[in-house]
Structures are given as C-alpha cells and as structure tokens.
Structure 1
Amino acid sequence: MDTLFGDLFQATEQQEANFADIILPVPIPKMFTYRIPNALLESIGIGYRVIVQFGKKKILTGIVGKVHQKPPAAYEAKPILDVLDSHATVNPLQIRFWSWMAYYYCCHIGEVMNAALPSGLKLSSESKIQLNPNFDPELSEYPLDDRELIILKALESQEELSYEDCEVLLGVKSIHQIIKSLVIKEAILVFEQVKEKYTPKVEARIRLTQPFATDKAALEQLFVDLSSKPKQEEVVLKYLQEIPVYKDLSLNSKGLEKKVFTEANLSMSSLKTLIKNGVFEEFKIIVSRLEELEDGKEMPSIELSAEQTMAINSIKEQFEEKDTVLLHGITGSGKTEIYIQLIQEALDGGSQVLFLLPEIALTTHIVGRLSKVFGNKMGVFHSKYSDNERVEVWNGVLSGRFPLVVGVRSSIFLPFDSLGLVIIDEEHEASYKQYDPAPRFQARDSGIMLAWLHQAKVLLGSATPSFESYYNARMKKYGYVALNHRYGDAQLPEFQLADVLVDKKKNLLKLDFTRLLRESIQEALNKQEQVLIFQNRRGYAPYVSCDDCGWTPMCEHCDVNLTYHQFGDELKCHYCGFKEKVPTTCDACGSNKIIAVGLGTERIEESLGLLFPEARVVRMDLDTTRSKYGYQRILEEFGGGNVDILVGTQMITKGLDFDRVTVVGIMDADRILNFPDFRSGERAFQQITQVAGRAGRRNQIGKVIVQSRRTDAPIFQWIASGDYGQFYLQEMAERQKYFYPPFVKLIKISTRHKDYKAAERAARILHNLLNDIQVKKIMLGPEKGLVGKIKNQYIFESLVKLDKASTALGKFKDELAIILNEVQSQKDFKGVRIIVDVDPY
C-alpha cells in the first residue's frame, strides 16, 4: 500500500514539475522561467504565445522558448496564466534567429522579440476596479468622501470601471490617489484585464433569403407587392443589379456589402424593413484588411537579353557552391526581370521567397510589377501598414497564403519555415540599418544569417555595391555576376559638372540654380519631358540666422540647429520633433534681419516655381509622404505625366523607372561628399550614381547636371565614367591604412544622461574598463557625440575597432556584457543609459 501511494505521489510530483522558459518583451538578459499548470500541459509548446505576470502587477505576452522540468534556483516560478494559441505563432528557426541577433548586436532577446512581433499579437493589460464583495459601507471604520461614494455608486450598476472611466466620471485628471484610498479602505479590488490587440475585420453583408433567391415567381411577386413602396423597391433593384441571382444562384451566398446601399444613398430604414419582413437577411464575415491583388498570371514572356540570360545561368551555377551571390548591375540593366525569373523557379520548387527593399517608396513601385506575375501569392510588409494589417501578413505567411513576401527591413522577422531564396535589392542602402531602438541590426547582414539558418540562397543586387559586399565577392566568399549594359541597349546618361562658384562670380547663379541646370530644365520642359531634382535635406532651409551677428536658433532639447519649414512658418528639430515659430527679431542683438541659410527641398520647390512658372512641380520627402499612400499618390501623378519636375530627397534616388525623365539635377553634391563619416565618399558615389540612373531609361540619352563648388574632385570623374572599380581601390587603400571596415569590425558604445558630467564620467570609466579587455583592438574616445545632446540627454561615444581575422569579436562581446552589468549595477550610474551599436555605420 505504501508503495502504491509512493508511486502516485511521485507521478503527481513529476506531472506538476513542468516549466517553460518564456521570452518576454522586456530588456532582461535571460528568459524567465514559469510553471506550467496541469490544465495547460496539453496545449503548450515552443513558439506558443502565453500570458504571464511579470513583477507585481504587470501582465505580458511571452513566447515559449523552452519546455523542461528544472525549476529556477533563484526564485519561485509563477504559473503561466493562459495560452493564447492553438498552434505556434513563432517557429523554432525564428527563436534561433532571435538568439543570434541578440548575441551579435549585443542586446537582449526580449528586445528582439519586441521588434519582431507585430503589436497586434502582443497583449495589453489595463488596470480595472471592481467592488470588494466583502465591503459593507455601514460597517466600515473608514469614512468615505463624496468622490469615493460616486465611484462606489457607479460600481453598483457596472461590474467594472477602468481608471479612465473613473477620471471621466469625476472630471479629474488623475485618479490614482482616490483609487489608492479606496483600496486601503478595502472598498474595491484592482485587477488587470487583458485584451488582445488584434481583432479581425468584420464586414456586414446582405443577401436574399432562400424563397426569393431560388423561386423566380416569388421574386416577381415581391416586385408586385413593392409597387407602392418605391424606396424598398429601389433597394431590391440595387441588390439584383450588383448580384444577378437569376443568372447565377451561387452569387447569392456571398451577398453584398451593406455599405453599398449607404454609398448609393438608399434608404436604410427600407433595408431594415425588408430584413424584418424576411426578404433579406444580414450576416457577417471576417475579411482581410490587405489590398486584394489580382490573381497572378502565368509567367510573362519577358524577352531576356543575352546578358540577362547569361547572368541567370551564372547565378544558378554559383549557387551550387556559394550561398550568396552579388549581382552588380548598372542602373537600367534589367535586374528586376532576373529577380522575377528566380522567384518563379523558387516558388515552383515549393520554397518561400523574401524580397527585401530598403524603402517604402520602392515597395510601392515594385509591388505593381511583381503583382502582375505573382498576384495573391505575394504579401507586402512595411511600416505604413496598421498593426492589424501586419498581423494579417504574419498569419498569411504562417498559413502558406503568402509564399512570397516583398517588404522592408522588418520583414526578416516574419514566420518563414521553408525559405529557399532571399533577394536583397539595393543592398548598399543605409536604410537597411536600424539605429533605434534595439536591436540595432543591419537587415542585409541579418538576412544572410536568416538564409543560412534555412539553408537558403541569397542574391544581393546593386548598381553600386557596398564595399563590404564587393570585398567579399573579390575574396571569393560571395559569387559575383556583372551586368554592364542597360536593357534594350539604352544609353547611359551624359554627366556635366556645373561650378557654383564660377556662376556666382559671373552673376549667373539664380535662386541657387546654375545657368547650365536652368537651361537643361527649360529644354526638357520645352520637349514635354520630365525632370528630377535631388537634394538630400528636407525643409525650406537648414537653418535661419541673424544677418548682423550670426545668431542661430537652436533646439531646446538637442544640440542642433532648428530647420526652417516655410509651410507652417516654423522651425523644427528633426531629432526630437520640437518646433517653434520663426523669430521676427534676433535673440542676441535684437536685429530684425533674420534670413534663411542653405537649401532644403521646400526652398528648391519654391525656387523652381519662380524660375519655371509654367511647370508643375511636386516635392517628395518625409513631410509630403507621411500618409499611408503618400508615396504611391506622388509616384502615380509623376508616372501619369501630371508632374513636370519632381524634387526629392534620397527617396527619388533608387528603383524608380519612368520613361520621360531626361534631366536629373543634383543641387549640393559637396554636402554629401563632406559629411564627417568614413563612408562619405562611398555614399556620395552611390547616391549620385543612383539618382543619375533615373535619367534616359529608354531610347533617349539622359543628362545629369551635378552642381558643386569642387568640380575638380576625382570622385566626379569616376562617377561620370562609371568606374566603380577604380574608385573602390582608391577608397580601400585609405580604409586599410586607417583601419576601417571591411578590414575591422566596429562597435560604438554611447553613454547618455541628462547631466553632462554623469554622462562623461560613465563614458570614461566604461572606456577604461573596455580598454583592459585583452584582444587585438584600437579604442577611440570617449568624445562628445557628433550631435552632443538629443532629447535633453548628453551623449558621449567610444569607438572600438576590432581585429576581424581573430576571435577578438566574440571575446570582446562576452567581456563587454560582464562590464556593462557591473557598471549599470553601480549606484552612481543607475540613470545612465548605455547603448551598444555593432556595425554602427
């Protein structure tokens, strides 16, 4: 008998001793262990979403990372409260990917999860109050004031109230003290009500009831009955016009959206009467929020050039030996057609494909081209989508609805389980780097790692490859394929340099436009051709200044000049969003000579309007494309010929393909070239070459006018001749000499604090500790950041250059984690924010 009871006790103990390590969306170093209640044992697994309590009151959504039977040693495991999924939302490959990203980019896996999972799949907890069932106001020893009595009275008729409900009820801004008082008096209970953010979109529809849908005689009799009720008759006629059931009975089952009747200004009361009388029935269905694409057609008969065919064959051959291939194709060489061919072959083989693009602007343009081929097999994913739309794409990838995804850098987090091909177009783009918040990842590099986990292939495409990718190709780590000719034998544009200083001396400079650029624009307009003007700075002018003493308005919260925006007549900080009206007098000397200095896209747009009053000018920058379809609207107008001149920032430099663009003007090439960054030459070459590639895309030779004060700079000759190889060799010699990528790995460590001395002291202590790590490295700093203060936080930075050819990187990161933990645990540095940025530039 004792043995029997002993066995039962042991079995029960084993059954209860089940634990799960949960990934939580908070910046903690490890996963947190929770106990799995017996009731949830059968419905839980790796990748499932669960609800857990973290801390005293906070309720979070976590992802199960591991299931085991080892209880935590340092704390008593709390129970998992509930499981949200009937199947895993995240797959094991994703968790491996998150772990790699957390280690490589020196952050926490919870921060990666927070970035990866759409907000709609995370739960929010909201504090609510309810009456304490044991509370009796007559027996209470505590008196209640009028406001407390109002809340208790409301709770008698309502089961629960939110904090916000109470604030509205009493007309106060903060309710916390009153709630606290009622809790102390044991009159109420506070609890957390969890609600899932994602809600499916429900659509109300109307359809004919069976007697009228199936019996033509009944339908005819209905019109006889409604002959004296014209409004009801109109409703029925509208339905039959949209849903001709007499031709196809099956159409009735889908019904008609209820909003069709309201949009047609038909009587809704008549519709209600018809529903009440059994003519129509109302029902609801769950519909997708995503724009329905046309069904993909068969693979179009793209007439590939001999060079494109050779490129495809070469890519496939090199994929036999190498996981990554760089496709170096000049602008207009037809890379997109090659992508389409490879995507189709991967999908035919049953694999998933991820097509990464750096900007939403490119997404808008390329989606139209790809949708004609792949239709509803293709999902689109970018930051302008709402939370619910992102969840639908996520679920579409999970279910297999979208084997092809076209998206920006966050697309790498989608739940792929059988990736076969990753295409990274414009792989050189700085937009692939996320700077804030953590994880501060590079999507190109992370995409290559994601592909490795899936044993997939990667195709990198660019007309101006990043030096890292080109270096890897030269070192035979990557395969390499070149496209040196434009598709259809289109000619490369003609480059011309316009010297701003020469025109200024000769009094030929008008509103910042040289004579050469003005004449070229006018010539294009006379021929009804289109013009692109590139200036990589939005706003009207970089800043305003006093013409007498030189005073310049600065941001109150950041160490930067305020940018002048003529629209709204205000000064804005592009770091924190602070804005103020343009001053009429100088704060320093009282002068009223406040002038705008420098060029922004707004000012160029205004100048073009004055120089070419007959031209239709549109601006494309962050300010004009904030809405969901802002990019699309502008591009459609330009593509439709409704715009003569498009002024833009780097949004216009890539991927756009318009037949009628013959002139491209680059306003301030020196600003790109002189930026204080070791990549400034590389970025200048890339941006100028990319925007130049928008000119002369078909049978016409385009013209590119580069305005500069340094027309003798060698880089302009390399850009004009398209000599990427020579430029690369020149720059790489400099980088090797001064130890910059790709010859070393860079890590930037920043300290931030509202107190200048605290930020500086933490930076110096941290720098000294890191300097003691015994690996081959060069330490620079600590120095005040290029922008020394952002959002009232002072910034100091140290830059570490690590030997790439050794184990230095791994050892440095391991010791860095220990040092960061030590420094941040010190009382003096509790408020100091330390940011680690791997591959920062």
Structure 2
Amino acid sequence: MDLLSGRPERDKPTPERLPAPVSRFPGELDASFLSDAADRRRASPPAVPRVQLPLARRSRGERRARLSRARALPQQARDRHRDRPCRAARRREVQGGHRRARRCAIGRPADARALSVDRRLGIALRCALPAALTGAGVPVPARKTRRVLQIGHELPSLLRRDRIFARAPQQRALYELLEAVGGCATIEHLHEQLPFSPSVLRGLVARGLAEIVEETVSRDPFLSRERRAAVAHVPTDPQRRAVHRLALAEPGHVALLHGVTGSGKTLVYIELLRRVVLDEGKSAIVLVPEIALTPQTVDRFRAVFGDQVAVLHSALSDGERYDAWLALRKGEKRIAVGARSAIFAPLRNLGAIVVDEEHESSYKQGEAPRYHAREVAIVRARTEGAVVVLGSATPSLESWTNARSGKYELLTLPERAGVAQLPKVAVVDLRAERAKTPPSETPDADAAFAMAVSPPLAHALRQRLERSEQSILLLNRRGYAAFVQCNTCGDVATCPNCSISLTYHRTPERLVCHYCQHAEPLRSTCPRCGGARLRQRGLGTQQVERMLAERFPNARIARMDVDTTSGKWAHTEILDRVAAGEVDILLGTQMIAKGLDFPNVTLVGVIDADVGINLPDFRASERCFQLLSQVAGRAGRGPKGGEVLIQTRAPTHHAVRCAVTHDYRAFVDEELKGRAHPPYPPTLRLANVVVSGTQEEGTARLATKTAAWLHRLITKGGITGVTVIGPAPCPVERVKQRWRWHVLIKSERAGELGRVARYLVERFSVDAGYRLTVDRDPVALL
C-alpha cells in the first residue's frame, strides 16, 4: 500500500538515462564491426524496415512522432533539411543529368545511394538494442523501483524517545520495528509485519525521524529460481584436450567442437569460461537455439558463475531485457546467455563466444536484417579478439566443410562422458506394421492406437512405466490432425490467405493456419459438395496425447509444443516437472529434441520420422538426420542406459540409416554427393530472390522480369561463375494473401554473388504493391 496516498502501492517505473558516456553502439559494437559483418556475408541490403520507410508509409503514431521532432528543430535546420533534395538535384545535373527514379526492395523510389551506410547501421541497431531503447525521439527507459523506508535520525536515549513519542505510540512502534530490521526496509515488508496507517508514516517522515527513498529493482526473472550447487566433474581426456586447445587459441580463432550427444560439450564451455571470465576477467556470450533450452543452460552456468549471468531473449518483457542489457553494459554481469539476439550483448573486453547447437536454423533471422548469429559471432570475435566455439553433435555441412578445409579448427569428443553409453537405435517399419492391420475407414480405438504407436513402441512404453522410468516421444507436427478432408469429393479445408491446408486443433476446437494464424470453426458439412462425411487425416501431438492417456490412464503425460508453451514460464514449468520425476511421458515437437539432460529418460520414440524428410528443400535430409540424432541423444544419459525406436516408412533413407548407427561422417559423405550435382551449398554460395504481391499474374510477370534482368546483367557485365535458376513458384505459393515466386542465384565465389545481389536490390525497378527480397545463404527455400 502507498502509505502516503492511501492507494495500493506498486513498483513505479522511473526514468533513467543511459550511463555516461552514451555511445550510439552497445558496448564495443561499433560501426566497423557492423560494416565488417556485412562485408563478410557480402550481403545485399535487406528489405527496408520501418526506419527507412517514407513518412507516408509509416504508422500514424510514427508519423506524429517524426513531425513533432521536426517542429522542435530550429528554423535554420528545417530549411536545410527542406533544401536537401534541391541540392541533390543540382548535383545530379552537374554529373550529367537526372537519373530515372527506381524502386527498391519495397517499391519506394530510390537510387543506389539511398541505402546509405548510416541507414543500414540503423537496421542493425534495431536488432542490437532492447525495445526500450528503440522508440521515437531520445529514449528514456524506465527502471523498476520500490519505496524503502530508512532511519533518518537516531534516538539512542530512552528518555528522549519517550518524550518525542509521548503522544504517538504507533509512530514509535513503526520506528522501533525499523530499527529491529536493520534501519532500512521496504514499506511493503514493514506493513506486512506491522499494519499501520498512511498518517503514521507521514508523521514519522515529517519529523525527520525516517525518510523514504526510491530503490532500483533489478528485473531478473531467474533470481527467483533456486540456484543448484555446482557438480564437480572430472574432465575426460578429449574434454581436457579441447579446453587446452581453446585456452591457447589466438584472438579471432574459430573452433568446431564436434561431440556426440552426451559427450560433455557443456562442460567444455564452462571450463573455457572459467579461464576467460574468472581467471582473465573478460566477458563471454553463450548462444542457445531455443528459448526452451535457456532455463537449463542458465541453471548450469549460474551454478558456477553465480550472478554474473544475464539472460537475453524475446520471451522476456521489455523491462527485463532492458535491465539485463544495462547490467551487461555497466559490467555488473559478464556472461550473456540467450537466443540469437544475444550476440549483440553490450559486453566489453569480450573473451569467448559459444554457439551451442550451431547447426540450428533458428540462428538465422527470418526478416530484415537477415543475419545469421553464427556468422555475426565469428565477425564480432575477430573484431574484438575473442575465441569462438561452435558446438554440435551434428554440425551443419557448411561448418563441417570449413573445418575439413582448415578454416576452422576441428575438436572432437567421440564418446559419452562418464559411464553413459550411446543408446541402441532400432527402426520400426510402418509399412510392415500397417500390413498387419486390416484397412478400415473407421478403425476402432485399438487399431487407431496401433497406427500411431506401433506394438513394439507401445510395449517399450509399458515397460518404462512399470520400472518408473521416463520416456520421450517426438512428433514434429502440432495440432490434432494435419487436415480435414471430405470423404465424398476429396475436398480439403484450406486457408483463404495461404496455399496451405488448415490444421485441426481440438482444444480449442477449430481449424488453424500455422502460417497466418487464420482460424475458423470446424465444418460440419463439405462446402464443395455438401457431404457430411468429413474425416481427419494425419496425426498431431494433441491426438497422440489423447491416445496415450486412454491407453495408459495412470501415466503422467506432458505435452510440449507451441500451443502449450505460449506462456512466459511454460517451458520452464514443464521441464522442471520432468526433472523432478513428475512426468512419465514427455510428448512434443522438435523443441524437446535438443539440449535436454534427464538421466532417468531411458526410452525415446519417434512417432513419424518421415515428417519433413521429403520437403522440396535441399536441406530436408540434413534437417531430418539432425533431428533424429538429436532426439536419440536424449536417451541413455544415466547409468540405466537407453533405447530409441524410430517409426518410419523409409527405413533405407540415408538420413534414417546413419541416425540408427550414430554415423555422422557417413551421412556427410553421402549428403555431399547429392549437393554436388546439381550443386547446392556448401558446394557453392546461394541467394534466394523472392518476389511477392497480391496479384498472382502480376507476381509471376515480375518474377520473370527479375530473372531476365539478372541474365542481362550477367551477360553485359561479363560476370562468370554466376548462374540464375528460375523463376518458379515458391513451394508454399501463397502466404498472408501474397503470391510468392522465387529466383535462385548461384555462384562459387561469394564476392560475385554479393555484388550481383546488391546491384539487383539497388537498381532493379519494382512496381508499387510488390516486394522483392534477397535472402543470402538461406536456411530454407520454402
């Protein structure tokens, strides 16, 4: 309660300016670093975000903010700003006449000079800074505070105390309570111990016996988590060699740490950071691919480094992110842990950057600026003299190729740490299992369960339940059913905004598009033929969860997917329950496949390994192998051992075969052969040019025009080694009411590819209403 006003008390945000000296760039992230990052990728300027939009294209609030700032300028500055286009026009006349106006990434008039270095740096800074520092005008972020009462004048004499408080016994009781708790306490805490009225507090303050101060409160969401004790580990010989090599590495050195699942890569990270942070007094960044992995990672690092660890990721509130950012910038904390945006943490004297699970596609930003956190980490480390560790059990083919060529140092952890052994992996051929079940349009409960969970997997689950062991089941498809189809005419419910079928969700019951989030009620009849025989096709995590609950009614089941983890601490709560032994079966999508360490998990089952294996994407097999290998690594991390069962209809596919034998090198050898003819990364470099618009025919014409323009550019410029493929519709042809076509640019030389892509964005004319986006080194072509 606010005892001076009589209103309930709450923590009040107070403005606090950045600590002086204020730099435009966080920590050591200066212009040279950002320019170097762009130069390394030879990236074309990304699609122009709001900071580069003309005033008319901005939101009403942004227009008002900009106009208010313009009115605040001195008249001379406004005249100079207004006269700028005229001076630019005169310069063009001197240089040989007016140039024809062109339209760039989003269709606004611009020439090559419009995308200035300052504006590109502005785009990068929007990613580097917390939201509290990116508002209009000069940002004055709010700090969370609490009201603290402290003794203002001591009263050692009992007689004097009796005289002063002769007619104010309640003030005396409050004063003596404040003395008993050390002379300083929050008003809220004092009121809990001794209820008192606002007038009592006001009287004590008015007499100068106490004073109220505003105390800044750090909004660290992990402070409330119990800090576990650090576990003493004896490094294995491979771990010791890896730490020794990293400790001797030169500034800017990049090492690929290839270790099987459970080999102790995290221990290598911790030992490296002991030397960098504790011994040398430097700072470090640890990147994780999933927000779900952050609590476990933070717990492990906090057990060793205490309150030196700060967390940065998008699930935090703006205030929490700002407080963590400020603590890192002031040097109060020296280790930043988080997802890809944590690579911009404002740390000085950076000594090490760890990129855990470096193969993950989530490290690539999906919108402008389309940076890859792994590449930014390498550039930043080279700029600031830090060491980079790229860790993975299944490295990306690009990183593996760089390691084999000597560009990166290769460090290996070939065996699991301690007594743990790699689990035995077996394949369940769903074709043979389906042949045992007679076909039926409406199978009974037993038959439906057998189609989802084969008898071998069901038997293994029952054994684990009897032995009080835990199991993990992976199905990389959320919802209840993949789509709803009319059994009479075959019509499938599709999204009105995207060229994708609607997924059936049972809780709440509706049809949902996973691209644009369009939702509509479940249909009772077919809109095409009026038939009432609508069937749900395909499995989702909701349906498997219901089947498991019916088959094993006493089992404690937890489902972990986007639908169950939308809350701020939902990931943490589920994983804490698993760690405490309160969950028997953990069912989820790909977010449960990596980074989790539960010694009591002895069984991993893959419900359908074929999800995504045949997508029209050159990385589909690589992603499938990585997912299967990673989820298999969740089993057998304790002394009880483990078993993995993979259900598939393609048991001879090389991604499945190599996952069964834990043979990463065999997979790489076979996959690289497929990337050679036709050539795809890492054989060469790639850029994906995506053209989109609301008109289907107009988008197709613009894509054709783009491809023809590129062919002419390559021919007239005499550019060799650059190939243009397309145009063609994107695999997902329509998303959010925009039709999508793409053109691929391939080149063996990164510099040539970058120059062509940059020239395209800066010089190619795009009609109003259409967009052209260049994605350099794409992680997917969907």
TM range (shorter): 0.7 to 0.9
User: Can you list the C-alpha shifts for 1:547-585, whole angstroms capped at 9, x where unaligned?
Assistant: 222222111211111111111111111111111111111
**What residue in structure 2 maps to residue 456 of structure 1?**
386
What is the deviation of 1:601?
Answer: 1.4
Equivalence map 1:232-381=2 (5 Å): 239=177, 244-245=180-181, 251-252=182-183, 255-260=184-189, 266-269=195-198, 272=201, 275=204, 278=207, 280-291=210-221, 293=223, 301-317=232-248, 319-320=249-250, 323-347=253-277, 348-381=279-312
Structure 1 residue 73: Cα displacement: 6.6
Aligned residue number for residue 717 of structure 1: 657
Q: In structure 2, do the counterparts of structure 1 residues 368 and 575 end up closer, same or farther at CA, with 3 Å as the change threshold?
A: same
Q: Distance in 2 between matches of 1:654 and 1:302?
A: 22
Q: Distance between the aligned counterparts of 1:29 and 1:628, measured in 2?
A: 27
Partner residue in 2 for 1:502: 432
Conserved? CA contact 1:427–1:460, under 8 Å: yes
Name structure 1 gaps, 5 residues minimum. 1-20, 33-50, 62-68, 78-101, 125-193, 246-250
Aligned counterpart, 1:112: 124
Deviations 1:779-807 (A, max 9, x none): 22111111111111111111111123x74
Summarize the Cα distance change of 1:303–1:590 in structure 2 as closer, same or farther, 3 Å threshold. Answer: same
Deviation at 1:206, TM superposition (A): 2.5
Question: CA 1:235 to 1:692, structure 2 compared with 1: closer, same or farther past 3 Å?
Answer: farther
Shift in Å, 1:491? 1.2
2:374 aligned to which of 444, 449, 457: 444
Q: What is the distance in 1 between the residues matched to 2:569 and 2:605?
A: 26
Post-superposition shift, 1:693? Answer: 0.7
CA contact (8 A) 2:149 2:210 kept: yes
Name the aligned partner's letter for residue 259 of structure 2.
G
SS of the residue corresponding to residue 706 of structure 1 reads: strand
* 2:752 maps to 1:816: no
- Aligned: 1:121 with 2:51: no
In the aligned structure 2, how far is the partner of 1:583 from the partner of 1:296? Answer: 50
1:493 aligns to 2:423 (yes or no): yes
CA change 1:365–1:56 in 2 (3 A) is same
Q: Which residue number in structure 2 is paired with residue 744 of structure 1?
A: 684
Q: Distance in 1 between matches of 2:86 and 2:348?
A: 35
Distance in 2 of aligned mates of 1:349 and 1:433: 31
Q: How much has 1:741 moved relative to structure 2?
A: 0.6
1:685 & 1:446 partners in 2: Cα distance? 26
- Asked if 1:480 corresponds to 2:480, the answer is no
Judged with a 3 Å threshold, the aligned counterparts in structure 2 of structure 1 residues 790 and 234 are, in CA distance, closer, same or farther, namely farther
Please tell me whether residue 206 in structure 1 is matched to residue 135 in structure 2. Answer: no
Tell me how large the CA RMSD over aligned residues is.
3.6
Read off the aligned partner of 2:727 and give its amino acid letter. P
Matches of 1:342 and 1:380, distance apart in 2 = 19
Alignment of structure 1 residues 276-675 onto 2, 5 Å = 278=207, 280-291=210-221, 293=223, 301-317=232-248, 319-320=249-250, 323-347=253-277, 348-436=279-367, 438-507=368-437, 510-511=448-449, 512-675=452-615
C-alpha separation between the residues in 2 aligned to 1:233 and 1:538?
62
8 Å Cα contact 2:251/2:386 also seen in 1: no
Rounded to whole Å, the distance in 2 between the matches of 1:605 and 1:299 is 36
Task: Establish whether residue 778 from structure 1 lines up as the match of residue 723 from structure 2.
Answer: yes
**3-state SS of 2:421 partner:** coil
Quick check: 1:777–1:802 contact (8 Å CA) kept in 2?
A: yes
TM-score normalized by the length of structure 2: 0.80
- Change over 3 Å in CA distance of 1:211–1:456 after alignment to 2: closer
Change (3 A) 1:555 1:796: same
Compared with structure 1, are the counterparts of its residues 297 and 571 closer, same or farther at alpha carbon in structure 2 (3 Å cutoff)? closer
Provide the rounded CA distance (Å) in 1 between the counterparts of 2:663 and 2:147. Answer: 61
Is contact 1:494-1:702 (8 Å) kept?
yes
Amino acid at match of 1:803: E
Matched residue type, 2:276:
A
> Which residue, out of 768, 772, 780, partners 1:830?
768
SS at match of 2:322: helix
Counterpart amino acid of residue 204 in structure 1:
R
Query: In structure 1, what is the Cα distance between the partners aligned to 2:487 and 2:359?
Result: 41
Residues in 2 aligned to 1:621 and 1:219: alpha-carbon distance in whole angstroms: 63
Q: Distance in 2 between matches of 1:420 and 1:350?
A: 9
Q: What SS is found at the alignment partner of 2:418?
A: helix
Distance in structure 1 (CA, Å) of the matches to 2:199 and 2:313: 43
The code of the aligned residue for 1:503 comes to E
The answer as to whether partners of 2:149 and 2:186 remain within 8 angstroms in 1 is yes
How much has 1:761 moved relative to structure 2?
Answer: 1.5
**1:793 paired residue among 734, 738, 751:** 738
Asked if structure 2 preserves the Cα contact closer than 8 Å seen for 1:206 and 1:283, the reply is yes
Cross-structure match for 2:443: none
Aligned length: 680
Measured in 1, the distance between the counterparts of 2:229 and 2:570 equals 31
Does structure 2 retain, via aligned residues, the 8 Å contact 1:29–1:109? no
- Which residue identity is paired with 1:244? A
Q: Distance in 2 between matches of 1:737 and 1:106?
A: 41
Task: Give the deviation of 1:324 after TM superposition.
Answer: 0.7
C-alpha distance in 1 between matches for 2:346 and 2:263: 33
Structure 1 letter corresponding to 2:240: T
Determine the C-alpha separation between the residues in 1 that align with 2:51 and 2:210: 58
Secondary structure at 1:734 match in 2: helix
1: distance between equivalents of 2:333 and 2:115?
30
SS of structure 2 residue aligned to 1:488? coil
Amino acid across the alignment from 1:200:
R
Query: 1:105 touches 1:837 (CA, 8 Å); kept in 2?
Result: no
Structure having greater relative contact order (Cα 8 Å, sep ≥ 6): 2
Give the 3 Å change call, closer, same or farther, for CA 669–579 of structure 1 in structure 2: same
**CA shift for structure 1 position 660:** 0.9
Q: Residue 473 of structure 1 aligns to a residue in which SS?
A: helix
Q: CA deviation at 1:27?
A: 3.1
What residue ranges of structure 2 are gaps of 5+ in the alignment?
1-30, 35-44, 54-61, 73-79, 89-113, 438-445
Percentage identity across paired residues of the two chains: 34
Contact 1:322–1:479 (Cα < 8 Å) also in 2: no
Q: Which has the larger radius of gyration?
A: 1
Provide, for residues 83-114 of structure 1, a one-character-per-residue CA deviation record: whole Å limited to 9, x for no partner: xxxxxxxxxxxxxxxxxxx9999994332222
Q: CA deviation at 1:360?
A: 0.9
Offset at 1:448?
A: 0.9
User: How many angstroms apart in 1 are the aligned matches of 2:63 and 2:160?
Assistant: 58
Question: Which is worse superposed, 774-783 or 278-287?
Answer: 278-287
Any idea what SS the aligned residue of 2:610 has? helix
SS of residue in 2 equivalent to 1:327: strand
C-alpha displacement of 1:488 = 0.5
- 2-structure distance, mates of 1:813, 1:107: 18
**Which amino acid is the alignment partner of residue 697 of structure 1?**
R
